[in-house]
Amino acid sequence: MNGILFYDTKEYERPLFEAAKEDFVFDYVESKLDEKTAALASGYDGVCIFVNDTADARAIRKLKACGVRLIALRCSGYNNVDMAEAEKCGIAVLRVPAYSPYSVAEHAMAMLLTLNRKIHKAYIRTRDFNFSLNHLIGFDLYGKTAGVIGTGRIGKTFIGLCRGFGMNVLCHDVFPDLSAGLRYVPLEELLWQSDVISLHCPLTKETKHILGREAFERIKQGCILINTSRGGLIDSEALLDALLSGKLGGACLDVYEEEAGLFYEDKSATGVRDERLSLIVSRPNVIVTSHQAYLTREALDDITRATLANFRDFFGKNPEKA
């Protein structure tokens, strides 16, 4: 039977894969993949990795030396994989191209509603029997303009939620879907017209720091920013400066540029050494969640099924294609 080693696994993932593994052998480690931990894959036919594993050239060459033939991502993004080196080493790379778009889109909207209406602050106050309404004023979403960067399945789902609140929607995408009835505008126009900006695009060389210092100078005063995609889309230093200056009205962040080694881990006893993240988290107009936007039962089921289908297809165990 083909053996697969899962890196960076969590307790809520293992039961799903164990229940459906069929004629595969799955083993799990909590360690993230990098050039040092790649040796753990010796004797396995494939590895399964997640968003903060590092499949760079050095790691891939070590996987090749271990006999690994497949890198399977249990996520849609593959910015953490050196695709050119994988091809050079003859290692296939498969991913989950899509899962429940509602999971991420609904989390993005939940963060926006929470930050805007100060629900997180009200919750903490009332737990202490403080029922004051001071400093809890928000604004109506109705009639405001949402700028959506990236109009794939998740972006379109978020657009539907925005329209449900009566918002106007502007879109920007390097590959616009001209059949979707969306209003596409240049990025510069989206920045200065939008009351809310939400990122739903992949991290590539072209989109890295798509929101950098120049972009933050162009945004509408008081704009709220949402990022549930990849941290590298935003220049975190420029983001902090925009928050400190008051140009940015708030930020809802489910991802962070330097999240590897922090997100998915409990750092409550030790704190973090990332001064920039500490400053961002401390801002009263910022909400940070730890890359959990995808975390619904439906999305986890979709990811499990798609990953198992990738295993079966690659190793020739899909009866429908036999």
Any idea which residues carry the catalytic annotation? 230, 259, 291
Are 35 and 11 in contact, with CB atoms under 8 Å apart?
no
For residues 86 and 128, what is the distance between their CA atoms, to the nearest angstrom? Answer: 55
Helix, strand, coil percent content, the chain, rounded in steps of 5: 35, 15, 45
Are 99 and 76 in contact, with CB atoms under 8 Å apart?
yes
For residues 142 and 162, what is the distance between their CA atoms, to the nearest angstrom? Answer: 9
Hey, CA dihedral for 9, 11, 13, 18, is it positive or negative? positive
Q: Among 64, 67, 74, 2, which residue's Cα sits nearest to residue 35?
A: 64
Are 149 and 170 in contact, with CB atoms under 8 Å apart?
no
